[in-house]
Amino acid sequence: MSTNNKTNRQKDMSFIEKARRAQIIECAIETIVEVGYAQASLGKIAKRANISKGVISYHFLNKEELLEQVVIEYYLACHSFVYPQIEVLTSPKDMLQKYIEAHLTFADKNRKHVFAVMEIVSNGRTSDGKLKFATDHDENIFQPIEDILRLGMREGAFWEFSAKSARVIALTIRQSIDGFSIELMRNPQINVKEYIQELVTIFDKATRK
Amino acid sequence: MSTNNKTNRQKDMSFIEKARRAQIIECAIETIVEVGYAQASLGKIAKRANISKGVISYHFLNKEELLEQVVIEYYLACHSFVYPQIEVLTSPKDMLQKYIEAHLTFADKNRKHVFAVMEIVSNGRTSDGKLKFATDHDENIFQPIEDILRLGMREGAFWEFSAKSARVIALTIRQSIDGFSIELMRNPQINVKEYIQELVTIFDKATRK
Amino acid sequence: MSTNNKTNRQKDMSFIEKARRAQIIECAIETIVEVGYAQASLGKIAKRANISKGVISYHFLNKEELLEQVVIEYYLACHSFVYPQIEVLTSPKDMLQKYIEAHLTFADKNRKHVFAVMEIVSNGRTSDGKLKFATDHDENIFQPIEDILRLGMREGAFWEFSAKSARVIALTIRQSIDGFSIELMRNPQINVKEYIQELVTIFDKATRK
Amino acid sequence: MSTNNKTNRQKDMSFIEKARRAQIIECAIETIVEVGYAQASLGKIAKRANISKGVISYHFLNKEELLEQVVIEYYLACHSFVYPQIEVLTSPKDMLQKYIEAHLTFADKNRKHVFAVMEIVSNGRTSDGKLKFATDHDENIFQPIEDILRLGMREGAFWEFSAKSARVIALTIRQSIDGFSIELMRNPQINVKEYIQELVTIFDKATRK
DNA sequence: AATGAATGAGCATTCATTCAT
DNA sequence: CATGAATGAATGCTCATTCAT
């Protein structure tokens, strides 16, 4: 199992190994934020970390693995932050509200990391040109919102939209969350609390009976 | 003034010149869609156009100008398509609905071009690392929606949201329009008409009294 | 047909293109002879040619193609030199003698090229580690000698060796020809005429009734 | 003297030291056979031995010494195997026959080692580009055959070839022995006994009165 | 108006070697 | 004894750009 694999692998890593990888990942994130995905070379990442390029190759199989690690770390951290807050809730309305609030809070607290992940996810392609993270995204990102929407519909908490409606609403919510991260980069002094409140209101109105 | 400059320049162009530029722009779009912004080199664009790399340099100052041209062409075409449809309307509600509908229709009819522009806008950076199209975007893209929202608020067509609310709503609408283009690439067989209807409904609910 | 392809390709090449390729191939040969296969980098080849590394990439798809071209050029030149001399003969004994003599003469006149080809053929591997030119060698190199041997056997010109004997004799002759090129590099002042005579004698004795 | 040096050095080695060196040498051989001289890096050798790269550097001065050791070990083992078999003979004819037979038998029983040595000997160069093992080869390899040939000539066992003939015959015999190893790699299911017989016959015919 | 040719910087990656622990 | 960590040079290759023709 891949999760298990991962755990074992990390267990097997020495403290120094983990620290170096963390440092490199951190510098990769900062480099991507600063110069953008296309210009973020291993050389620039190494320079930022004050290490030689070879060190990155020593700790990561290749550039791909490094960037994947940035993405994976985000998925895990984001999931760990968001889902405990949702699972304790019972009302779909509250769950949707918390979903938005938690994701925006996470994006706010991890601005660079989240922005870097979006750069990687939207630019990372396989050698045949296809977007690498497209399917993962689909399954792991949209599904949970749709689940909440469907639950709410069954319980009569939302207006009676169709399955297709649910999908579009889910997409729109996700886009507004990702869009928030972008807006945060362009406009760092945003009042986050207010933004959250606005977004919650918008989707409360959009879904309520 | 830049607009004037532009016009003069285009006037001065021969028919062949314009045709070549159009062909190159077309191929640039297709290349970006196919391999992504980071991998879209002048070499690949030239190969797709069956011309030598030098031709591109001959017709465009540099890569930057070519990509800018892709974006500018989009802005002009999109504006020409959307605004005549809005300007004939008087009700803010109708205007908002038409704004969404027209943009989605345009994105559907110009899938590749719109997707390419998004790639360029979200990746294009100046040599100091800053996003090149960030401010243009702000002024040309968000303002019109905010105008509609403000108008509707003054006329009592929408609930009484604040200026900040208006901004968030505008952002969310734009994000949902851009997100539609991305979704269209991932999932080309989407029922566009339905999608438009869903989105119109969402933002009608989100803004109505 | 590959030969035809080749011809067409070369026909399509401009004079300059052909000259550059020839120059690069020449420098590749000299570099390989001077520093050996493993140390013959594109950088060193470019430096010897007083051109930038990029020029090589411009004229050849990659290093592999360049080295293959060195080999192919040799095969064609060697074949053109050797076979006309053999085809006019009717006696298998004479043919074998001429085979040896012509190959050694060619190797003598094209010392560097032949040595370089041997370096490439004996070191060139595919990404899975297998020798790249092994099979070509088999078919194009050993077959002709075996043909002569078989013909001679049928005509009673040689002693009645078996098919397996023929193969070992063919191998041994080839090895002595390739070995001559290596010896020529180690010991450039060899008296080639004498060497040829000795080798002809050895294999005349080894095959005669 | 280097031999003495060597002996002292090996005497000083602990059991573990010797075992480690043997293991590393073994893995170096296998790596060279599998991927070729140019691609046989210390990293790959270490991976095959399940040790860290540093271990190799610890036990060997550098890559050069490791490869030299592979060659030296072969020289010693080959010599120990071949010469006792020859020294007991008195007839030059028998000695030549045994020389061929013993070398081919050794090459058969130590396929990988012998092939690796040939890769090293034909590729190993000093920093100034000259073949490292060229002279060693000359002295240790060709001399013994020439000795047998000269002896046989003095005794009237062979036809009366000149000194130069003797050298070419010696070269040809060595080339056929080395060539056998290469053929063995390309074609591992060769009938070795038969091959030996064929080669013995060839050079018996080539040298007899 | 177009092209082929060349450049030189930059890219990801591999490598032999060194060294502190 | 052995290792993990790091280095810095070198490798093959791609790229945007320039320029003579």
**Mean pLDDT confidence for C20-26:** 95
Distance in angstroms (rounded) separating the CA atoms of residues C43 and C40: 8
Q: Rg of chain C's alpha carbons, rounded to an integer?
A: 19
**Residues of each domain in chain C carrying CATH 1.10.10.60:** 1-60
- Name the fold adopted by C71-207: Tetracycline Repressor; domain 2 (1.10.357)
Distance in angstroms (rounded) separating the CA atoms of residues A40 and A116: 10
Helices (H), B88-189: 92-109, 111-123, 134-137, 143-154, 163-186
pLDDT above 70: percentage of residues in chain C: 94
Confidence of residue D112 (pLDDT cuts 50, 70, 90): very high
Please name the CATH architecture into which domain D69-207 falls.
Orthogonal Bundle (1.10)
Residue C22: how many CB atoms within 10 A of its CB?
12
**What pLDDT, on a 0 to 100 scale, did the predictor assign at position C123?**
96
**Candidate from A35, A125, A183 with C-beta closest to B39:** A125
The separation, in Å, between residue B128 CA and nucleotide E20 C1' comes to 40
Distance in angstroms (rounded) separating the CA atoms of residues B172 and A176: 5
**What pLDDT, on a 0 to 100 scale, did the predictor assign at position B10?**
54
Helices (H), A50-140: 53-59, 63-87, 92-109, 111-123, 134-137
Cβ of B191 under 8 Å from any chain A Cβ?
Answer: yes
Distance in angstroms (rounded) separating the CA atoms of residues A141 and D151: 86
**Mean pLDDT confidence for B136-144:** 79
Whether residue C172 has pLDDT greater than 60 = yes
Amino acid at A190: I
Enumerate the nucleotides of strand F whose atoms come under 7 Å of any protein CB: 1-20
CB B35 within 8 A of CB A129: yes
**For A38, which residue in chain B has the nearest alpha carbon?**
B38
**What pLDDT, on a 0 to 100 scale, did the predictor assign at position D67?**
95
**What pLDDT, on a 0 to 100 scale, did the predictor assign at position A4?**
41
Distance in angstroms (rounded) separating the CA atoms of residues C37 and D122: 10
pLDDT above 70: percentage of residues in chain A: 94
Q: Which nucleotide is nearest to C59 (CA to C1')?
A: E5
**What pLDDT, on a 0 to 100 scale, did the predictor assign at position A12?**
62
**Candidate from D37, D161, D205 with C-beta closest to C206:** D205
Whether B202 and A172 lie within 8 Å, measured CB to CB: yes
**For A142, which residue in chain B has the nearest alpha carbon?**
B183
Confidence of residue D7 (pLDDT cuts 50, 70, 90): very low
**What pLDDT, on a 0 to 100 scale, did the predictor assign at position A3?**
38
Contacts of C39 in chain D (CB under 8 A): 125, 129
Query: For the ranges A76-80, C117-121, C156-160, D15-19, which has the lowest average pLDDT?
Result: D15-19
Whether residue B2 has pLDDT greater than 60 = no
pLDDT, tens digit, 9 for 90 and up, residues A167-202: 999 999 999 999 999 999 999 999 999 999 999 999
Q: What is the mean pLDDT of chain B?
A: 90
CA-nearest of C90, C95, C161, C178 to D205 is: C161
Q: How many CA atoms lie within 13 A of C18 on its CB side?
A: 11
CATH 3.30.465.10 fits A70-207, yes or no: no
Confidence of residue B6 (pLDDT cuts 50, 70, 90): very low
pLDDT, tens digit, 9 for 90 and up, residues C78-102: 999 999 999 999 999 999 999 999 9
Confidence of residue D1 (pLDDT cuts 50, 70, 90): very low
**Residue B88 contacts by C-beta under 8 Å, 6 or more apart in sequence?**
none
DSSP letter at B162 equals -
**Residue A166 contacts by C-beta under 8 Å, 6 or more apart in sequence?**
A146, A149, A150, A153
The vertex-D150 CA angle with D145 and D152, nearest 5°, equals: 95
CB C159 within 8 A of CB C207: yes
**Candidate from A36, A39, A206 with C-beta closest to B202:** A206
Whether residue A123 has pLDDT greater than 90 = yes
Distance in angstroms (rounded) separating the CA atoms of residues D98 and D101: 5
Tokens of B39: 């991998």
**Residue A32 contacts by C-beta under 8 Å, 6 or more apart in sequence?**
A40, A70, A115, A116, A119, A120
Whether residue B138 has pLDDT greater than 80 = no
Tokens of B51: 């011309």
Distance from CA of C36 to the nearest CA of D (A): 7
User: What backbone phi and psi angles, to 5 degrees, belong to D131?
Assistant: -65, 125
Distance in angstroms (rounded) separating the CA atoms of residues D152 and D145: 11
Residue D104: how many CB atoms within 10 A of its CB?
22
The separation, in Å, between residue D39 CA and nucleotide F15 C1' comes to 28
- Name the fold adopted by D1-60: Arc Repressor Mutant, subunit A (1.10.10)
**What pLDDT, on a 0 to 100 scale, did the predictor assign at position A7?**
42
CATH 1.10.10.60 fits A13-60, yes or no: yes
Cβ of C129 under 8 Å from any chain D Cβ?
Answer: yes
Cβ of D188 under 8 Å from any chain C Cβ?
Answer: no
The separation, in Å, between residue A56 CA and nucleotide F17 C1' comes to 31
**Mean pLDDT confidence for A142-166:** 89
pLDDT, tens digit, 9 for 90 and up, residues A57-100: 999 999 999 999 999 999 999 999 999 999 999 999 999 999 99
Distance in angstroms (rounded) separating the CA atoms of residues B81 and A30: 39
Whether residue B77 has pLDDT greater than 90 = yes
DSSP letter at D139 equals I
**What pLDDT, on a 0 to 100 scale, did the predictor assign at position B95?**
96
Which letter, b or e, does each residue of D36-49 get, where b requires 16 or more Cβ atoms within 10 Å of its Cβ? bbbebebebbbebb
Q: What is the mean pLDDT of chain A?
A: 91
Amino acid at B136: D
CA-nearest of A11, A114, A117, A22 to A60 is: A22
The vertex-D91 CA angle with D88 and D94, nearest 5°, equals: 80
Contacts of C131 in chain D (CB under 8 A): 36, 186
Tokens of B177: 């329009």
Do B and A share at least 3 CB pairs under 8 Å? yes
Query: For the ranges A19-23, B142-146, C28-32, D178-182, which has the lowest average pLDDT?
Result: B142-146
Confidence of residue D181 (pLDDT cuts 50, 70, 90): very high
**What pLDDT, on a 0 to 100 scale, did the predictor assign at position B15?**
79
Q: What is the mean pLDDT of chain C?
A: 91
CA-nearest of C23, C125, C33 to C69 is: C23
**What pLDDT, on a 0 to 100 scale, did the predictor assign at position C141?**
84
Element (H, E) at A178: helix A163-186
DSSP letter at A160 equals -
Whether residue C8 has pLDDT greater than 50 = no
Cβ of A178 under 8 Å from any chain B Cβ?
Answer: yes
**Candidate from C134, C183, C194 with C-beta closest to D186:** C134
Which letter, b or e, does each residue of D117-130 get, where b requires 16 or more Cβ atoms within 10 Å of its Cβ? bbbbbbbbbeeeee
Whether A201 and B165 lie within 8 Å, measured CB to CB: yes
Distance from CA of D192 to the nearest CA of C (A): 11
Contacts of B176 in chain A (CB under 8 A): 171-172, 175-176
Confidence of residue C160 (pLDDT cuts 50, 70, 90): confident
CATH code: domain B6-60 is: 1.10.10.60
**What pLDDT, on a 0 to 100 scale, did the predictor assign at position D10?**
53
